[in-house]
Structure 1
Amino acid sequence: MNNPLPKIILASKSPRRQELLRLMDIDFRIVLKEVDESYPDHLSPEEVALYIATKKAEAFDETIGDEVVLTADTIVCIDGLILGKPETPEHAVEMLKMLSGRVHKVITGVCLLHKHKYNKFFDVSEVFFRKLTDEEITSYVEKYQPLDKAGSYGIQERIGLIGIERINGSYTNVVGLPTEKLYQQLKNL
């Protein structure tokens, strides 16, 4: 019989990450700490996601016992430009227009802090959006208020359901947590 997975502290208020862990039958509790999510300009998108996920974990390093702290950061990247969370509904519309009819990358950096050791990994998925109408974009932003989502959209919401033609890579990575890689990493702790 495999060793049971360690106890998890999820350092995220994302309901999507919480739901993914529940669907994986992973017991966890949520502990939040404020962290500055700025990063050096010279980092690649993959490095940015890992850098921020690691900063989030470092906030727990002195106070953690035997539990594993799980932190993550998801970014959307198009033509080398990182699209974070939109600041306003108008900014969300602008981002979605930029993604419309194009391919972009979704990168999630994950950090597992266990016994003062940092286990870091990331996943990249390519997302192919069909050309969206202005009305589809504005009605989505008005109804779903995607200000808490990198790139201004949730794949599991209307714009993702009607706009995404295909994905190369992990679906759950686009949701916000590469569950396949996460499970393997947790088993190996």
Structure 2
Amino acid sequence: MTKLILASGSPRRKEFMSYLGIPFDVDIPNVDESPVKGESPDELVHRLSRLKADSVSQKHSDSVVVAADTVVCFNGMILGKPSSREDAFKMIKMLQGQTHTVYTGVTVQKGSLVRSRVVSTEVVFDPLDDEFISNYVASGECDDKAGAYAIQGIASVFISEVKGSVSSVVGLPINEVVKFLREFGLDIPISKVCA
């Protein structure tokens, strides 16, 4: 049986992969995630997901590797993970009452065979006052999250609309992953998933 590897240490990505009912290992890639000058958000996540997949695939050439990268984009500005709680406050303040786009690049690779796609999803935040934002930031949920929020957590109370893939906003467009895995000959045991 082909071995499956998730090239990520993200607990959210691990959780989505576990839904598939296929055993998998985790190998966290060590790559430079800095944007290249002039790179658009979709180009960035596409390049990084491929870089992560290739980095891990080189060590496990007989395995199927799944990698992803996610960024939040607002008015042409890429919002990665906040560097501090103050940075998180600024990000949420900027996004409140607005629509932004989340881009996730996903790559599935086995040796030289590679499938990759970028999924974009629009997310709409309710208007929020400073006290609410401060309380949200103090919860710690914003730490280590692109755009300083987790759609699957407390942030769901101030997200009024999502146009596109929710799992992609969380960090792994699972629908695309399933399609790619099937192309690679991996069967998703739906009986286990739905048991």
Query: Do they superpose with TM above 0.5?
Result: yes
Question: Aligned partners of 1:90 and 1:41: how far apart in 2?
Answer: 26
Whether 1:67 and 2:63 are equivalent positions in the alignment is: yes
Contact preservation (8 Å) 2:100, 2:123: yes
Contact preservation (8 Å) 1:53, 1:73: yes
Gaps of 5+ in 2: 185-195
Match of 1:25 among 21, 33, 46: 21
Question: Aligned partners of 1:99 and 1:26: how far apart in 2?
Answer: 37
Match of 2:166 among 152, 157, 171: 171
Gaps of 5+ in 1: none
Match of 2:126 among 111, 126, 130: 130
Match of 1:188 among 179, 183, 189: 183
Whether 1:120 and 2:116 are equivalent positions in the alignment is: yes
Aligned length: 184
Shift of 1:22: 1.0
Question: Aligned partners of 1:101 and 1:39: how far apart in 2?
Answer: 27
Which digits, 9 at most, give the CA deviation of each residue in 1:3-24, with x for residues without a partner?
x8x4311111110010111122
Among all aligned residue pairs of Structure 1 and Structure 2, give the percentage whose two residues are the same amino acid: 39
Shift of 1:127: 0.3
SS of structure 2 residue aligned to 1:144: coil
Which digits, 9 at most, give the CA deviation of each residue in 1:166-188, with x for residues without a partner?
11001111111111111111101
Shift of 1:117: 2.4
Which digits, 9 at most, give the CA deviation of each residue in 1:77-119, with x for residues without a partner?
0111100000010000000001100000011001112122221
Q: What is the match of residue 148 of structure 1?
A: 144
Contact preservation (8 Å) 1:72, 1:108: yes
Shift of 1:145: 4.3
Q: What is the match of residue 110 of structure 1?
A: 106
Contact preservation (8 Å) 1:78, 1:105: yes
Report the RMSD for the aligned CA atoms in angstroms: 1.4
After TM superposition, the score normalised by the length of structure 2 is 0.89
SS of structure 2 residue aligned to 1:70: strand
Question: Aligned partners of 2:13 and 2:56: how far apart in 1?
Answer: 19
The letter of the residue matching 1:167 is V
| Range 18-27 or range 173-182, more displaced | 18-27
Question: Aligned partners of 1:72 and 1:33: how far apart in 2?
Answer: 11
The letter of the residue matching 2:153 is E
| Range 46-55 or range 24-33, more displaced | 24-33
SS of structure 1 residue aligned to 2:34: coil
Which digits, 9 at most, give the CA deviation of each residue in 1:28-59, with x for residues without a partner?
11111321101212222111111111121222
Whether 1:51 and 2:51 are equivalent positions in the alignment is: no
